[in-house]
Amino acid sequence: MSNYKMNTKCVQAGYTPGNGEPRQIPIIQSTTFKYETSEDMGKLFDLEASGYFYSRLQNPTNDYVAAKIAELEGGAAAMLTSSGQAANFLALFNLCECGSHIVSSSSIYGGTFNLIAVTMAKMGIDVTFVSPDCTEEELDAAFKENTKAVFGESIANPALTVLDIEKFAGAAHKHGVPMIVDNTFPTPVNCRPIEWGADIVVHSTTKYMDGHGAAVGGAIVDAGRFDWMAYKDKFPGLCTPDESYHGITYAEKFGKEGAFITKCTAQLMRDLGCVQSPQNAYILNLGLESLHVRMPRHVENGQAVAEFLEGHPQVSYVNYPGLPSNKYYERAQKYMKGGGCGVVSFELKGGRRAAEIFMKHLKLAAIETHVADARTCCLNPATSTHRQMSEEQLRAAGVPSGLVRISCGLEDKEDLIGDLKQALEAI
């Protein structure tokens, strides 16, 4: 499939049925798999043969879908996880241990920020946050002897900052560590971080990949390029024998292409069990089959809504990387030529009260904490996710009380603009 274009891969990659086999990927709703001899099964446990024995580790339905996502991102191997949070945690923890350090962009999803800054800190894993707009010198200075990875989001949720992937990956490689990019918002249809130097790509498939608000899930893709053995001392988990797995050295046995995902599956999924159900993987695949058709429409609607809002007298500013007035416009043009995503945020001049009235009057855009759905939804952080904060704290956090985030769905853009227009008039 790798020679085909993105549109073809979205529809057909990952699963090729044989003669008389199901056209759609089968849902293998089975916890376990049967063998004729103990010897057959023993080979699987020793990672001497590939096959299935227990769905916590691997399941064929999940593997078809993971293989498709690997192809979409241009990676060598991939795995599914139960959520985006699980994908981020496993990707980082596959490299880190107590005493390790991570360099991360400060402009990331709130859940990931908590994961790294609070929960992983309790495990003895330290982080230095850097501005996504830091200079090369500032970025360089963030690295320590014990740094194991660099992390960032291609388009950050919810700030909509665009990451300079080449710059961050360049710094990571200079310091002998891999670059991890969360590519949830643009999806591989609009941005392929591996082409710009990323080593590992993670996703909350809950968002555009599923695209219908139907199934929570995550994915990890490895480009298969990072030379672990060249930095043996930094990555003992990959480069020295795993005593919990018959003394296997992942980087030796599975090489650059297979080491990261094999270790992450055989060791972390085995122990942590944050597996995606085959039912959810099937639903995710239905979403992937139309990802290349949906993403351009999300972008078209996002762009139209952003342009409409930018010209409206009730609106003080609009944040959308597709607007030439946006700070990240040039960077977005470089990394995502077909546009980024359908999420737009804007501030109402009338503050909290205006936001309340505006949202109450919306008919098509539902109030939800979700984004990246086929149905348009919106959120006022000041009265929901950031409710505990004072006016001053809200402003300092870059979420003034009149800020509204709207995730443009797949409806007709004229209907969406009409809906926004009448709700703005009600203020």
Nearer to ligand PLP by C-beta: 73 or 419?
Answer: 73
Q: What is the dihedral of CA 120, 121, 125, 126, to 10 degrees?
A: 130
Question: Segment 337-376, which members bind ligand PLP (CB under 6 A)?
Answer: none
Q: In this complex, which beta carbon is closest to ligand PLP, that of residue 237 or of residue 340? A: 340
Least distance (Å) between residue 118 CB and ligand PLP:
15
Q: Does 210 bind ligand PLP (CB under 6 A)?
A: no
The least distance separating ligand PLP from the CB of residue 371, rounded to whole angstroms, comes to 7
- With H, G, I as helix, E, B as strand and everything else as coil, classify residue 202: strand
Burial class from Cβ neighbours inside 10 Å (0-12, 13-18, 19+) for residue 111 reads: middle
Six-digit token string for 301: 């609607």
Q: Please, which residue, 199 or 210, has the CB nearer to ligand PLP?
A: 210
Is 272 a binding residue for ligand PLP by CB under 6 A? The answer is no
Of 201, 107, 179, 157, nearest in space to 341 by CA: 157
The strand order across the sheet containing 343-348 reads 315-319, 343-348, 403-407, 377-379, 366-367
Residue 216 or 389: the one with the smaller Cβ distance to ligand PLP is 216
Cβ-based nearer residue to ligand PLP, 28 or 159 = 159
The token duo for 189 is 């249809």
Tell me: does residue 280 bind ligand PLP (CB under 6 A). no
112 binds ligand PLP (CB under 6 A): yes
Q: Among 61, 62, 85, 401, which residue sits at the site for ligand PLP (rule: CB under 6 A)?
A: 85
182 binds ligand PLP (CB under 6 A): yes
* Cα radius of gyration (the chain): 22
> Are 181 and 165 spatial neighbours (Cβ–Cβ below 8 Å)?
yes
* Nearest residue (CB) to ligand PLP, 181 versus 354: 181
Which residues touch 382 (CB under 8 Å, ≥6 apart)?
Answer: 352, 355, 389, 394, 399, 400, 401, 402, 403
Q: Which of 167, 175, 207, 263 binds ligand PLP (CB under 6 A)?
A: 207
* 343 contact partners, CB below 8 Å, separation of at least 6: 155, 157, 158, 160, 185, 302, 371, 372, 405, 406, 407, 408
Residue with tokens 């942590």: 272
- Identify the residue among 14, 74, 75, 84 touching ligand PLP (CB under 6 A): 84
* Comparison of 216 and 364: residue with beta carbon closer to ligand PLP: 216
Which residue reads 């990875």 in tokens? Answer: 149
Interface with ligand PLP, residue 109, by CB under 6 A: yes
Nearer to ligand PLP, 59 or 187 (CB): 187
Residue closer to ligand PLP, measured from CB, 157 or 301: 157
- Is residue 83 involved in binding ligand PLP (CB under 6 A)? yes
Query: ∠ CA 235-239-243 to the nearest 5 degrees?
Result: 110
- Alpha-carbon span 15 to 49, nearest angstrom: 20
Q: Which of 11, 45, 56, 111 binds ligand PLP (CB under 6 A)?
A: 111
Measure the CA–CA gap between 82 and 89, rounded to whole angstroms. 11
Tally of CA atoms within 13 A in the half-sphere of 107 that contains its CB: 18
For the bound state, the minimum distance from the C-beta of residue 94 to ligand PLP, rounded and expressed in Å, comes to 17
Closest contact distance (angstroms) between CB of 182 and ligand PLP is 5
Contacts of 188 (CB under 8 A, 6+ apart): 6, 69, 72, 73, 74, 201
How are beta strands 147-153 and 101-105 bridged, if at all?
parallel
- Residue 261 CB, nearest approach to ligand PLP (Å): 19
Helix or strand holding residue 382 (H, E): none
Distance in Å, CB of 341 to ligand PLP, minimum = 10
Using the contact rule CB under 6 A, the part of the chain among 108-116, 227-235, 256-264, 414-422 near ligand PLP is 108-116
Shortest distance, position 245 Cβ to ligand PLP, whole Å: 27
Residue ranges in 11-40 that form contacts with ligand PLP under rule CB under 6 A: none
We find the least distance from the C-beta atom of residue 416 to ligand PLP, in angstroms, to be 21
Of the candidate residues 63, 153, 164, 199, the single one contacting ligand PLP (CB under 6 A): 153
Nearest Cα to Cα of residue 199 among 220, 229, 175, 218: 220
Q: Which is nearer to ligand PLP, 104 or 204 (CB)?
A: 204
The only residue of 59, 104, 157, 277 in contact with ligand PLP, by rule CB under 6 A? 157
Q: Can you give the binding site for ligand PLP, defined by CB under 6 A?
A: 83-85, 88, 109, 111-112, 153, 157, 182, 184, 204, 206-207, 216, 218
